[in-house]
Chains A and B, each alone.
Chain A
């Protein structure tokens, strides 16, 4: 494990170097650095540069490409201002669940991330913020002890340093393999946010596709402002479970961002290309708070 840790640390250091050089950060599976990329929505081939300028939304059909946590952060902040926090927390196996450690390793290799949440500080149009993003590529962005701890530490850091907080969620919910430990992360993160809120600080939660289960039922819906990205799936229970329970099909558009907006659960639904502008506006309104 030590060896692995050391290897990853070196990898991360070189990664940071790349960051400083302002190179493209997308180390992603779904956005390969080929010349063309196939859209999952319409099967059309899209010129990668075009996709990039279109905020990774298909110019043909409007399909939203999945983003990594780092890409999210990069697209939100002033270039080169990100300082990562708590980068080296490593996943344990509290229930000694068979195959879990191997599964984590597999995702670590695939995603080049240690866990499903990336956090740090940065500036957005010169506003200093604490910012974090879940990565749905890493085990569905599920929340176990490490994700819960990193979210909590980010919130506590923001409270201590009187910073506004932005968290992008993308998660299937609590991580089953850590059982009750995952459930308790809902409590821990929500408690930390309570203190951030009581300190009079701004928390903007951005719910992206998908935000469900224990993440939706904790920090993702506790923003002073809850924003969803266009078309995102947002809800508590999974659609398969609901179908099984009620024994009938679900209405069209059920649990979409637009559905949640209509039902009064969100402050707004925002297109990806408008997201940064919206966040900046909100940060401006809260200057001095």
Chain B
């Protein structure tokens, strides 16, 4: 693995040529069938989900899509979900549970959308209910952070039995710009904030919050991704086989204990 500063990794995670979840899904799941809508309000294109097969095993795949061209970015709202996006994700996950399909999440979002409509339709409630519901989901869940893991917007599809992170992805409570603006009262100190926040895949692995780093090619995913994605596919297959051997009650207990231990304090 190449040694980079946190800020360099932030730049790579946001690189305009870095593949988004759409390309990841296309590569891993040629038979992916997209399913739309939350069945209450609308279809949120920042969340893309559906069914696919992974070496013969049907799986439900749910992702956050940022888009790469300007047109795509607008269509997908830059990967920032509204409440209906989280409702859609949960609906698809529950469908997976019914048919005993494992769920694979791909995370790539700057955060949940901060707008009037999002607030009117209960962004806070949607995230809280999502987080809670995934603790109760009686099927295997793997969550992979492809590029940006932005705060509650990422965590809302990030509760899983295995959490993996691409080497140059970030996972944080806030963007470095937002962090700098709040804590240093100066948004231009984002570079310093990125270092202080400890948001890289190596930091998260050290903290025990992820299980594995998905290694990227030397220059990053924007140069070449095929081999990395194919390797990820094999790893996902193997992991699902392993997770399926664990009885569901034990799986849920492990999931609970995993998150139960997070936090540092004395006494």
A residues in contact with B186, CB < 8 Å: none
A176 and B128 form a contact (CB under 8 A): no
- Known contacts A181-B207, A254-B119; is A187 also within 8 Å of B265 by CB? no
A236 and B196 form a contact (CB under 8 A): no
Sorted nearest first, the 5 A-B pairs with minimum C-beta distance are A237-B114, A145-B263, A184-B262, A216-B124, A236-B123
Report the bound CA distance from A90 to B113 in whole Å: 34
B residues lining the A interface (CB < 8 Å): 112-116, 118-125, 127-129, 131-132, 135-136, 151-152, 155-156, 158-159, 171-174, 178-179, 182-183, 196-199, 203-204, 207, 209, 255-256, 259-260, 262-267
A179 and B197 form a contact (CB under 8 A): yes
A residues lining the B interface (CB < 8 Å): 1, 5, 88-92, 94-95, 97-98, 145-146, 148-149, 152, 174, 176-188, 190-195, 198, 212-214, 216-222, 234-238, 241-242, 245-246, 250-251, 254-255, 263-265
- Known contacts A221-B128, A236-B127, A237-B123; is A180 also within 8 Å of B116 by CB? no
28 residue pairs bridging A and B, Cβ less than 8 Å apart = A90-B266, A95-B197, A95-B198, A98-B196, A145-B263, A148-B263, A152-B260, A174-B173, A176-B179, A177-B183, A179-B198, A182-B173, A183-B151, A183-B155, A186-B155, A187-B135, A187-B155, A190-B128, A190-B131, A193-B132, A194-B135, A214-B173, A217-B131, A218-B128, A222-B129, A234-B124, A236-B114, A236-B118
A residues in contact with B265, CB < 8 Å: 89-92, 145-146, 149
- Known contacts A94-B264, A217-B128, A263-B121; is A245 also within 8 Å of B114 by CB? yes
A residues in contact with B129, CB < 8 Å: 221-222
A-B Cβ contacts below 8 A, count:
179
A221 and B173 form a contact (CB under 8 A): no
A residues in contact with B121, CB < 8 Å: 263
B115 and A180 form a contact (CB under 8 A): no
B residues in contact with A237, CB < 8 Å: 112, 114-115, 118-119, 123
A residues in contact with B113, CB < 8 Å: 245
B residues in contact with A264, CB < 8 Å: 122
B residues in contact with A176, CB < 8 Å: 173-174, 179, 182-183
Given contacts A180-B209, A222-B132, A235-B124, 6 further A-B contacts (CB under 8 A): A145-B265, A191-B255, A220-B124, A237-B119, A254-B119, A265-B122
B residues in contact with A148, CB < 8 Å: 262-263
A residues in contact with B124, CB < 8 Å: 212, 216-217, 220-221, 234-236, 265
B119 and A180 form a contact (CB under 8 A): no
Report the bound CA distance from A195 to B136 in whole Å: 9
CB closest residue in chain B, given A191 = B135
Report the bound CA distance from A222 to B260 in whole Å: 18
